[in-house]
């Protein structure tokens, strides 16, 4: 396909140059936004009297037909074109002749591409936000079913203090709610119209940028034309928000992988979301969680690519910036794919409450509560801590737990112990006493669930 910029050139473009230069293979996904942006631009050109109203109407009709034809499959996008902008304008001119050639008045591909990416990414943010909301909703339901499922909470991957599975799940919910908030924020800053910045220095035509902004749902217009065409902060910000989402999904995946192991056996994944081994008949592998954990690397790579592409280029547009699309689209697609697989995996997993409860009973996770019991009887915390440490060592020697250690042994270490200690170290009580906001009691967790559900409506 012919280039739009042929006038100055005497020779045809070398095939290698065309292949290298062309972005159609990855910017073709912006066809709808490119056409809608052009429709708004052409309408404005007509209304501002920059082109004839009748020609503007013909252009708008022509563009609408091209959009329908691409959507219905009647018109195939030419993969030899330089980019989607060239293809659409070329097709319009092929259909309308001279009138089609007026579309690009007061515009450059530099502000056009900046517009298109923003429009595409705004839509993608909405889609990803909805997927995050689905995951949050699944977590809330799972948590609601498990407010009394006691499990060991860990630090250093060592059993630490008793919590509930619901509380643990809702920790991820808090992260995902922040992710949602970050996406909203990114979208707000992205929602500024670059069109009208021209190639770099604005335009001499009396354009109405606010009219275009309004037609395309932008809150504002870019106030500096150089920045308007050369800003890709919104790609970097989105890739960064997506990277943080992947950090969360990856940490969650790591826990799912551990919980599925025979060593933990806290959950069992549904057959539909696990895979087998080609040689070991007994295997049921958490491949989805592993792949999500692995794919986080891709998204971080996309963010690094964007930062690196942008860091050294002088104002305003440079062709380096064409690299933005593959990186940000890959990040968007990867996150969507991960969420599509991850959410139903969580939704269908079976929670093995008894195994969690058994694990909680074995790791001295009520030792802090035992010390707190002594504090309640007047002992300074440091002394209570030391006495409890001695009791733990005694239990390990005798292969007992704090629950099964006889009261005489308690008294031998510290004579203020009495039978009530068994009540104090009861795991249910240990959880239920952690009443301060943010703690694992059922009441607190239900409040977290209620708050999260309000966020996702």
Residue bearing tokens 């604005």: 202
Listed ranges 36-44, 317-325, 388-396, 401-409: which one lies at the site for ligand ARG (CB under 6 A) = 317-325
Q: Of 86 and 146, which has the nearer Cβ to ligand ARG?
A: 86
Q: Of 110 and 343, which has the nearer Cβ to ligand ARG?
A: 110
Q: Of 55 and 324, which has the nearer Cβ to ligand ARG?
A: 324
Distance, CA of 207 to CA of 210 (rounded, Å): 9
Least distance between ligand ARG and beta carbon 238 (Å): 17
Distance, CA of 89 to CA of 4 (rounded, Å): 9
Least distance between ligand ARG and beta carbon 96 (Å): 22
Q: Of 8 and 319, which has the nearer Cβ to ligand ARG?
A: 319
Q: In sequence order, what DSSP letters do the residues of 408-457 get, joined into one string?
A: HHHHHH-TT--THHHHHT-HHHHHHT--STTSSSHHHHHHHHHHHHHHT-
Least distance between ligand ARG and beta carbon 231 (Å): 13
Strand pairing class (158-164; 150-155) = antiparallel
Least distance between ligand ARG and beta carbon 55 (Å): 25
The yes-or-no answer on residue 156 being catalytic is: yes
Distance, CA of 327 to CA of 334 (rounded, Å): 11
Marked catalytic residue, from 72, 104, 156, 240: 156
Residue bearing tokens 């966020």: 455
Residue bearing tokens 């065309």: 18
Which of residues 180, 213, 321, 414 is near ligand ARG by CB under 6 A?
321
Distance, CA of 193 to CA of 212 (rounded, Å): 8
Which of residues 322, 355, 368, 401 is near ligand ARG by CB under 6 A?
322
Interaction residues for ligand ARG, span 72-111 (CB under 6 A): 83, 109-110
Distance, CA of 32 to CA of 13 (rounded, Å): 28
Contact flag: residue 38 with ligand ARG (CB under 6 A): no
Marked catalytic residue, from 253, 277, 278, 296: 277
Residue bearing tokens 């606010």: 210
Strand pairing class (220-221; 267-268) = unpaired
Distance, CA of 245 to CA of 249 (rounded, Å): 6
Which of residues 165, 273, 300, 317 is near ligand ARG by CB under 6 A?
317
Task: Report the phi/psi class of residue 202: left, alpha or beta, with left for phi > 0 and alpha for psi in -120 to 50.
Answer: left
The yes-or-no answer on residue 243 being catalytic is: no
Q: How many CB atoms lie within 10 A of CB 267?
A: 19
Least distance between ligand ARG and beta carbon 110 (Å): 5
Listed ranges 177-185, 313-321, 357-365, 415-423: which one lies at the site for ligand ARG (CB under 6 A) = 313-321
Distance, CA of 289 to CA of 249 (rounded, Å): 9
Contact flag: residue 417 with ligand ARG (CB under 6 A): no
Among candidate residues 39, 42, 63, the one with its CA nearest the CA of residue 51: 42
Cα angle, residue 364 at apex, residues 363 and 365 outer, rounded to 5°: 90
Least distance between ligand ARG and beta carbon 326 (Å): 10
Q: Of 234 and 317, which has the nearer Cβ to ligand ARG?
A: 317
Listed ranges 202-210, 240-248, 315-323, 402-410: which one lies at the site for ligand ARG (CB under 6 A) = 315-323
Least distance between ligand ARG and beta carbon 313 (Å): 12
Q: Of 28 and 75, which has the nearer Cβ to ligand ARG?
A: 28
Distance, CA of 269 to CA of 108 (rounded, Å): 53
Token pair recorded at residue 27 = 């910017």
Interaction residues for ligand ARG, span 106-135 (CB under 6 A): 109-110, 113
The size of the interface with ligand ARG (CB under 6 A), counted in residues, is 10
Least distance between ligand ARG and beta carbon 128 (Å): 22
Least distance between ligand ARG and beta carbon 52 (Å): 27
The SS3 call for residue 155 is strand
Q: Of 23 and 253, which has the nearer Cβ to ligand ARG?
A: 23
Token pair recorded at residue 282 = 């007994």
Q: How many CB atoms lie within 10 A of CB 44?
A: 24
Task: Report the phi/psi class of residue 155: left, alpha or beta, with left for phi > 0 and alpha for psi in -120 to 50.
Answer: beta
* Contact predicate 196/95, CB 8 Å: no
Contact flag: residue 23 with ligand ARG (CB under 6 A): yes
Contact flag: residue 318 with ligand ARG (CB under 6 A): no
The SS3 call for residue 164 is strand
Contact flag: residue 161 with ligand ARG (CB under 6 A): no
Residues at the site binding ligand ARG, with contacts judged by CB under 6 A = 23, 27, 83, 109-110, 113, 317, 319, 321-322
Active site residues: 156, 277
């Amino acid at each position: 396909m012919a280039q739009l910029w042929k006038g100055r050139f005497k020779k045809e473009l070398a095939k290698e140059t065309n292949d290298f230069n062309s972005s159609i293979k990855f910017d073709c996904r912006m066809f709808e936004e490119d056409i809608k942006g052009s429709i708004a631009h052409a309408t404005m050109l007509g209304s501002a009297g920059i082109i004839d109203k009748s020609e503007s109407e013909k252009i708008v009709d022509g563009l609408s037909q091209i959009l329908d034809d691409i959507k219905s499959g009647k018109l195939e996008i030419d993969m030899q074109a330089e980019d989607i902008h060239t293809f659409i304008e070329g097709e319009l001119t092929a259909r309308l002749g001279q009138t089609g050639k007026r579309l690009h008045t007061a515009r450059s591909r530099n502000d056009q591409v900046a517009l298109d990416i923003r429009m595409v990414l705004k839509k993608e943010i909405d889609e990803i936000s909805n997927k995050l909301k689905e995951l949050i909703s699944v977590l809330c339901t799972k948590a609601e079913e498990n407010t009394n499922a006691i499990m060991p909470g860990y630090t250093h991957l060592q059993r630490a203090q008793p919590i509930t599975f619901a509380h643990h799940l809702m920790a991820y919910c808090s992260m995902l709610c922040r992710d949602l908030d970050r996406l909203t924020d990114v979208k707000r800053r992205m929602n500024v119209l670059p069109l009208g910045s021209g190639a770099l220095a604005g335009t001499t035509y009396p354009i109405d940028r606010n009219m275009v902004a309004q037609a395309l749902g932008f809150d504002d217009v870019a106030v500096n034309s150089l920045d308007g065409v050369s800003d890709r902060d919104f790609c970097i910000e989105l890739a960064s928000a997506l990277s943080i989402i992947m950090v969360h999904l990856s940490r969650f995946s790591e826990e799912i992988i551990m919980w599925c192991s025979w060593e933990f056996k806290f959950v069992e994944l549904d057959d539909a979301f696990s895979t087998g081994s080609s040689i070991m008949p007994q295997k049921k592998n958490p491949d989805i969680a592993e792949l999500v954990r692995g794919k986080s690397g891709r998204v971080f790579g996309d963010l690094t690519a964007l930062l690196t592409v942008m860091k050294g280029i002088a104002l305003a547009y440079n062709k380096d910036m064409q690299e933005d699309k593959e990186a940000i689209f890959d990040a968007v697609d990867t996150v969507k794919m991960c969420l599509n697989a991850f959410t139903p995996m969580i939704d269908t997993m079976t929670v093995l409450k008894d195994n969690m409860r058994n694990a909680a009973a074995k790791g001295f996770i009520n030792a802090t509560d035992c010390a707190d019991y002594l504090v309640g009887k007047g002992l300074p915390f440091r002394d209570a801590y030391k006495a409890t440490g001695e009791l733990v060592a005694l239990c390990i020697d005798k292969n007992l737990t704090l629950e099964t250690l006889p009261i005489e042994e308690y008294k031998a270490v510290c004579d203020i112990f009495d039978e009530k200690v068994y009540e104090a170290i009861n795991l249910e009580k240990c959880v239920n006493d952690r009443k301060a906001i943010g703690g694992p009691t059922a009441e607190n967790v239900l409040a977290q669930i209620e708050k999260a559900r309000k966020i996702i409506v």
